Structure 1
Amino acid sequence: MCWSATADLVAGGAVTAIGVACVARARRARDLPLAALPLLLGAHQIIESAVWRADGGSGPATLAWAVMALPLLPLWVPLGVLCAAPERARRRLAVPVVVGLVTSAVLAYCLATRPVTAHVRGHTLGYAVDLPHSRLLIAGYLVATIGSLLLSGDRRLAWLGGLVAGGAAVCAALWRYEFISTWCAFAAVCSVVLLAWSGRPDVSAGREPGR
């Protein structure tokens, strides 16, 4: 959702570099899925630069962007949080994980059976796919992604969940009025937060048995 192909490419490269650092700094193997999230975000923006260059449409880049944005993220984020969460928080994370699985399955089915197209709208790209019960799917998406972060039991991840919630609202408002999107800067900020988290486990989580 950056304002040009070049901006998406540059921002995507920067976020990808942060993702490499996050993975390198991760201290526990079970932190790796969440630490690798900036790699996914960076690749997502790089793919969108190809959508810009194709002037939207329904080509392979548009489909790849939609797969990462729709079914992949609501599955990746809650499972990554579950892997990294302290033992005491895992039971309550069952709700966003199950919601994410169901939401991801429905979105994957929609992408497999219905076309997705991209359109240049002012300074942003708009994506269109026919989703049944779209409000319910959006709610499930937010529960899976933001909800899992807020319930993680890690104060930095919970703070990131609040940041994501606020940033998503701002990005949605700016996209509606076709202003320059804040998504590039927002993805970078989220990636920096994950960089700090990956290198310094939250002391509020305490020590685990056997560590």
Structure 2
Amino acid sequence: MCFSATASFVTAAVTGAIGVVTLSRVAAPRQLPLAAMPIIFAVQQFLEGSLWLTLVTQAGNPFASSSTFLFLILAQVWWPVFVPIAALLIEKDRNRRSLMLPSIVVGAAVATYLLWGILTRDHRAEILDGHIVYMTEEPQPLLIGLAYLAAAALPLILSSQRAVATLGAVVLVGGTTAYFFYWQAFVSVWCFFAAAASGLILFHFERQRTERLSLS
């Protein structure tokens, strides 16, 4: 997370526990991607916690480089594709599914652009003003940032399921706040907001489980 190694590891532990419980509430394979989000966020937060410790002691070692690379792959490449797919898979309303489809295309385009940048440009992580900042040779265009937020949040907001739509709203507000107020540390801060919202995913599946039990 963007504040300290301790905060990252605590967030990873809590989010991981939420993820384990969430996965136990899955009733169909199509629900697995959404239910797996907290676990993936936990892995991401653990990576950043480890990176905090490494940057404080040995910033230039190979572990810092590999951790930075893995974190950027998850944060910049994985989420803009994975989120719209997860939202689409659980959506039953055909009209809403149609509205979600363009987000997959946008997310794939953004992910491809960002992946190319990760693979072809120098990148590194530094601790600045109490945040981990992921630096590349060139700043990302505003259009890419807006497209990223659209792919990561709008499919969730379009969901007919209230908890999922609320999750999308939290991701959008958190992402917008991170983008405009923590631009340098956007990647790290956005992931904190998204990980903190993982409890909504558990709430969604727990409510569905309760409804199934009441009908049985």
Pairwise TM-score range, normalised by the shorter structure: 0.7 to 0.9
1:55-83 CA-to-partner distances (Å, cap 9, x unmatched) read 15561011111111001010110011111
Does the alignment pair 1:164 with 2:175? Answer: no
Q: Distance in 1 between matches of 2:85 and 2:137?
A: 26
Q: Distance in 2 between matches of 1:77 and 1:173?
A: 22
Does the alignment pair 1:200 with 2:207? Answer: yes
Structure 1 residue runs without a partner (length 5+): 203-211
**TM-score normalised by L of structure 1:** 0.84
Corresponding residue number in structure 1 for 2:123:
116
Q: Distance in 1 between matches of 2:71 and 2:168?
A: 22
Q: Distance in 1 between matches of 2:159 and 2:135?
A: 32
| Residue identity matched to 2:74 | M
Which of 90, 101, 105 is residue 94 of structure 1 equivalent to? 101
**TM-score normalised by L of structure 2:** 0.83
Corresponding residue number in structure 1 for 2:214:
none
Corresponding residue number in structure 1 for 2:21:
21
Residues 11, 184 of structure 1: 8 Å contact kept: no
Shift of 1:152: 2.0
Superposition pairs for residues 146-185 of structure 1, below 5 Å?
146-172=153-179, 175=182
1:65-109 CA-to-partner distances (Å, cap 9, x unmatched) read 111100101011001111111142211111111111111111111
Q: Distance in 2 between matches of 1:171 and 1:107?
A: 18
Corresponding residue number in structure 1 for 2:89:
83
Residues 150, 162 of structure 1: 8 Å contact kept: yes
Superposition pairs for residues 36-47 of structure 1, below 5 Å?
36-47=36-47
Q: Distance in 2 between matches of 1:90 and 1:184?
A: 25
Residues 19, 195 of structure 1: 8 Å contact kept: yes
Q: Distance in 2 between matches of 1:5 and 1:101?
A: 31
Identity %: 31
More helix by share: 2
1:32-52 CA-to-partner distances (Å, cap 9, x unmatched) read 101100111111110001211
Which of 151, 154, 168 is residue 144 of structure 1 equivalent to? 151
Corresponding residue number in structure 1 for 2:3:
3
Q: 1:53 to 1:124 in 2, by over 3 A?
A: same
Corresponding residue number in structure 2 for 1:35:
35
Shift of 1:200: 2.5
Does the alignment pair 1:128 with 2:135? Answer: yes
Shift of 1:132: 7.2
Shift of 1:199: 2.5
How many residue pairs match? The answer is 200
| Residue identity matched to 1:154 | Q
Q: Distance in 2 between matches of 1:65 and 1:168?
A: 17
| Residue identity matched to 2:115 | A
Q: 1:176 to 1:75 in 2, by over 3 A?
A: closer
